Amino acid sequence: MHMSEEASDSDLTPKANCRECPHRNTTLKTGRCIPGDICVGAMSGRQIERFFRENPGLAGEYTGDEFWERRAIAARYISQQRLLTMLNDPDEVVRRVLAYRLPIDSLELLIGDEDREVRITVADRLPVDKVERLVDDPDYLIRVYVARRLPTGRLFRLTMDPDREVRVTVAGRLPAESLVLMKNDPEPEVRCKVAERIDPELAIDMLQDTDWRVRITAIERVPIQILNDYIDDEDRDIRAIAQTRIDKALHDEEME
């Protein structure tokens, strides 16, 4: 199917040559395709989409088409079972459609796909009891998705993940009693997340942290009883937060 020479210089709408189209005696005659508007032969994603929307039963004829966009759009309309024949499609856009549409029990077939977006979709759709298979994925973003979805009791192996974002996600979900495992993490962002959630008594140790953000988070959570030790702290923000918390506690007592 080739571009038609009938389009004028002022009309840039992609058009196919209907004389070479296999549907010229079927959909064209019945009005289920319109040149320049609803057309599977045009090099136009919009026209191809309209064609398959109008003629979904014909999508299966294009799963092996040479044009990647035609295959990708056809994949939206064929049956889920037919999708399995496209697992080795050379174009990642096509495989991304498969990742969205494949039956859940077939998603594992795409776990090792070379495309990041495919694996992200797989990580997002896989049953929780199978998502751990992606825990060692080389791409940090895939592991972030895994950390968001794993049962909290299965997060421990990710507490030592090489990527900061993964560990921040883990620190936001790990059971509070287990956060002590991460309070000495090398990244301040991770330690801040730990300080936000760790038991107040355990947050006391984090007041000695080397990063001011961690100390500020900790001073907002430590038991009120120790705040008098920090109203003369060398850090102005620490002093201010400690004094504010003390004043509020005194005010609350007076109101009782």
pLDDT at residue number 252: 81
Question: Domain-by-domain residue ranges, the chain?
Answer: 1-78
Cα separation values, 165 from 71, 78, 139, 183, 188, Å? 35, 38, 12, 15, 11
Per the structure block, which two tokens stand in for 5? 């020479």
Question: For residue 7, is pLDDT > 60?
Answer: no
With 70 as the cut, is the pLDDT of residue 156 above it?
yes
**What gap in Å lies between CA 27 and CA 36, rounded to an integer?**
14
- Dump pLDDT digits (tens) for 83-102: 999 999 999 999 999 999 99
The average pLDDT across 178-182 equals: 95
Per-residue pLDDT, averaged over 12-20, amounts to 83
Share of the chain above pLDDT 90, in %: 83
Residue 132 has pLDDT above 90, yes or no: yes
Give the other-Cβ count within 10 Å of 147's Cβ: 28
Amino acid 95: pLDDT = 98
**Confidence class of residue 13 from pLDDT cuts 50, 70 and 90?**
confident
pLDDT of amino acid 16:
82
Question: Computed over its alpha carbons, how large is the radius of gyration of the chain?
Answer: 29
CB atoms within 10 A of CB 175: 11
pTM of the model: 0.82
Instruction: Provide the pLDDT for residue 256.
Output: 73
- Please give the single-letter amino acid code of residue 245: R
Residue 15 scores a pLDDT above 70: yes
Report DSSP letters for 194-205, one per residue. Answer: HHHHS-HHHHGG
Note the pLDDT tens digit of each residue in 28-52: 888 899 999 999 999 999 999 999 9
Question: Is 199 a residue whose pLDDT tops 70?
Answer: yes
Record the tokens describing residue 217, joined without a space.
């988070």
Tell me the pLDDT band of 11, cut-offs 50, 70 and 90. low
